[in-house]
Amino acid sequence: MSIVAETSRESSPTPAEVGPAETPSGKSAKDENFPVGSFLLPKRLRPHVAIYYAFARAIDDVADNPALSSEVKITRLRAFDAALRGDEGYGAEYAKAHALRESMNATDVTTKHGSDLVAAFVQDAQKNRYATWDELLGYCALSANPVGRYLLDLHGEDPAGYRYSDALCTVLQIINHLQDCGEDRHDLDRVYIIGDWMAAQGARIEELDGNVLTPAMRQVFDQMLDGCDALMADARVLPAVLKSKHLAMESAVIVNFDRAAAQR
C-alpha cells in the first residue's frame, strides 16, 4: 500500500489541532544544490516555479525541524496537504499551500505533485532507515520525482518524459543524501545509506559520524553511485525529448551538475 494512499485516507486535521503552520529554517533557493527558477526557464513560468518551491521549502522545514515530534510534524504536514486540496478552514498560515493550488489551477497542473511531496515528508517523520535500494527509490519517487514531473507538466510536455525526469531527479536526491549523510545522521538520526549494503561490507552507521569515510563505507557509497550511474543512462535522454528549448537547456545543466557531483 502506498504512502500516498495511506495519507489520503487520513482525516484532515483541523486548524486548531495543528498550531503554528510553518517553522522557517532560513534556507532559501540559494542554499539548494540545483537551479530553482533559473533564468533558463521562460520568464512567464518562473513565478509559478517560485510558488512551488516556496511550498516545498515550507513543508521541508517542518519535516526537518528537530524540535518537533513526529506526531506534530505529521499533523502539520497533513494540514498543508488539506489546504492545498482546498479544504475549508485553513487560513493565512497556509498561504503557500493556497498560492500553489491557485497556481496549479491557473496552469492546469495537478496538485498531486504537491501532495506527493507531503507524503515524502510524512514518511521522513515515520521512517529513518532504508534497508534496500528499492526502498530508497520508492522514497525518491515521492520526495524528488514530483519536482521534475511538475516542471514537465508546467511546460506542457508529454508525460512519456517522466521516465527520464524521474531518473534525473532521483540521482539528484541520492547525491544530496550522500553529501549530507553526516548532517542527516547527526541532526535528525536519518540514514539514507543502504542498510543491507552496509551490513554486507561490514560498515556501521556510526561511521557516518566521522569526517572521513572508512574503506567499508566507501564501498557502500560506490555501490550507490553505481546505481546512480545506471539511472543517468535515462537521465541523459531528457533534454533531447523535451519540446521546450528552455526546459531542455535547464535539464542539460542539471544533467551536467549530477555528473560532476557524482564524480566528486
Q: Please say whether the beta carbons of 80 and 20 come within 8 A.
A: no
pLDDT per position as a tens digit, 22-37: 676 556 555 555 555 5
pLDDT per position as a tens digit, 227-255: 999 999 999 999 999 999 999 999 999 99
Alpha-carbon distance 13 to 87, whole Å? 10
Q: Could you state, in order of their start, the residue ranges of all structural domains in the chain?
A: 1-20+41-126, 128-264
Alpha-carbon distance 240 to 179, whole Å? 29
Q: Please say whether the beta carbons of 77 and 121 come within 8 A.
A: yes
List, in sequence order, the alpha helices (H) in the chain: 3-9, 15-18, 46-63, 70-85, 95-107, 112-126, 133-143, 145-154, 162-179, 181-188, 195-201, 215-235, 238-241, 245-263
pLDDT per position as a tens digit, 141-194: 999 999 999 999 999 999 999 999 999 999 999 999 999 999 999 999 999 999
pTM of the model: 0.87
Using the CB atoms, write b or e for 48-83: b if 16+ within 10 Å. Answer: bbebbbbbbbbbbbbbbbeebeeebbbbbbbbbbbb
User: Which class is 128-264 in CATH?
Assistant: mainly alpha
